Amino acid sequence: MLLLNPPLVRFGSHTWTDVALLAIDRTTTRPAEEWSDAGPHPVFADAPEQRTQIRVVRDLLRDDLASHKPGDQAALTFHTSPTTSDAARRQFTIPAAVITSVTHELATARHARQTITLIALSPDGATDPITSAPAPH
Amino acid sequence: MPSSFDKASLFNSGPHRFRRLPSGVQTIPAVALDGVSPGTIPLGPLELIIEVRGRLVAPTDAALDALLAAIHAKLTFPALAADLIDHHGRIYENMSFVRFESADRIDRARQVTLPYTARFIRFLNT
């Protein structure tokens, strides 16, 4: 999932402004693949261990003194707005997201790109860590 | 074609492969017997050992338990000796089901699955 310029991104009590993109990558950390005695192609695949990683990229034009650090955990909330209006607006919530890195790329003297990477946690291991619902107006 | 042991479809819930372990002569270093002699002593032919490695696949934990129960019902003592038939119709006669080793965890994702290794031996004295 990729969101460009999401209008609202919140991490706990913090509101992250100037978000250029928010990307959600879902990968399997241990794929289950099996082959048979019949030929060269796999006959079974599943993803019993998965990781949901979120990258929030912000274009910073001013100082950012927030002290987010790896290990911080909070709810991450963001809205989609396909038409930059309230139509079809949806709110995505990750009840427990843990920051794994905060990095900065100094693009120019007046502009820096901050990338915050988080891992989404499931409340019980089986429930998808991301929920979505129509955004409240 | 589906495999079977003792006419039972034990492993066909998921993919599995057959592996024949080395054949030849069982040997033992002479030094292991008397502590001083060099060389190797032949003891006799190796037993035929077939390993089945695969993954049990079930929609629920209860269904997986049922698959495991059917397998464990064939793990008897004295070991049950019967025909083991692979995917290609190859028949290994008089094989004894002696070991079933499951992986260290049950995988729960789209399906409930469990990797395993099953071992069958044709004992020399049967």
pLDDT band with cut points at 50, 70 and 90 for residue A5: confident
In a domain, A116, yes or no: yes
Q: Are B7 and A25 in contact (CB under 8 A)?
A: no
Tokens of B15: 């993919």
Contacts of A37 in chain B (CB under 8 A): 17-18, 86-88
Q: How far is A103 from chain B (nearest CA, A)?
A: 33
Q: Are A60 and A112 in contact (CB under 8 A)?
A: yes
The pLDDT value given to residue A80? 81
The residue that leads in pLDDT, A5 or A41, is: A41
User: Cβ separation of A46 and B111 shorter than 8 Å?
Assistant: yes
Q: Does B13 touch chain A (CB under 8 A)?
A: no
CATH number at residue B59: 2.40.30
Write the Ramachandran bin of B61: left for phi over 0, alpha for psi from -120 to 50, otherwise beta.
alpha
pLDDT band with cut points at 50, 70 and 90 for residue B125: confident
In a domain, A126, yes or no: yes
In a domain, A88, yes or no: no
Tokens of A115: 């990338």
Instruction: Say which residues have a Cβ less than 8 Å from residue B105's Cβ, sequence separation at least 6.
Output: none
The pLDDT value given to residue B117? 98
Residue B91 scores a pLDDT above 90: yes
The pLDDT value given to residue A46? 96
The pLDDT value given to residue B99? 97
pTM flag (> 0.95): no
Q: Does B20 touch chain A (CB under 8 A)?
A: no
Domain count for chain B: 1
The pLDDT value given to residue A87? 62
Tokens of A52: 């949901």
In a domain, A105, yes or no: yes
Beta bridge partners of B53: B17, B117
Interface test with A, best of B3, B17, B64 (most A CBs within 10 A): B17
Provide the 8-state DSSP code for B89: -
For B27, the domain range is 4-122
Q: What digits encode the pLDDT tens for the residues B57-78? A: 999 999 999 999 999 999 999 9
Distance CA B11, CA B57 (A): 9
Q: Are B40 and B27 in contact (CB under 8 A)?
A: yes
Contacts of A44 in chain B (CB under 8 A): 14-15, 55, 57, 113
* CA within 13 Å, CB half, A41: 1
B71 phi and psi angles, rounded to 5 deg:
-70, -45
Residue A15 scores a pLDDT above 80: yes
The pLDDT value given to residue A86? 61
From the list A32, A36, A37, the residue facing B107 with the nearest CB is A32
In a domain, A85, yes or no: no
Q: Which helix (H) or strand (E) holds A103?
A: strand A90-108
Residue B114 scores a pLDDT above 80: yes
In a domain, A12, yes or no: yes
pLDDT band with cut points at 50, 70 and 90 for residue A97: very high
Mean pLDDT across chain A, nearest whole number? 89
Domain count for chain A: 1
Q: What digits encode the pLDDT tens for the residues A61-74? A: 777 777 889 999 99
Long-range pairs of A19-22 with CB within 8 A, sequence gap ≥ 24: A19/A56, A19/A57, A19/A58, A19/A78, A20/A57, A20/A58, A20/A59, A20/A113, A21/A55, A21/A56, A21/A57, A22/A54, A22/A55, A22/A56, A22/A57, A22/A78
CA-wise closest residue to A70 among A27, A109, A106, A115: A115
For A13, the domain range is 2-29+47-76+95-134
User: Cβ separation of A46 and B109 shorter than 8 Å?
Assistant: yes
Mapping DSSP to helix (H, G, I), strand (E, B) and coil, where does residue A60 land? Answer: strand
What are the Cα distances from residue A23, in Å, to A66, A126, B123?
21, 22, 59
Residue B46 scores a pLDDT above 90: yes
In a domain, A83, yes or no: no
From the list A32, A35, A36, the residue facing B113 with the nearest CB is A32
Distance CA A114, CA A101 (A): 10
User: Cβ separation of B110 and A44 shorter than 8 Å?
Assistant: no
Q: What digits encode the pLDDT tens for the residues A22-63? A: 999 999 999 999 999 999 999 999 999 999 999 999 988 777
pLDDT band with cut points at 50, 70 and 90 for residue A109: low
DSSP strands (E only) in chain B: 4-5, 16-20, 25-29, 40-45, 48-58, 81-85, 91-102, 107-108, 112-122
The residue that leads in pLDDT, B21 or B1, is: B21
Residue A88 scores a pLDDT above 70: no
The pLDDT value given to residue B36? 94
Residue A10 scores a pLDDT above 90: yes
Distance CA B40, CA B122 (A): 25
Contacts of B111 in chain A (CB under 8 A): 46
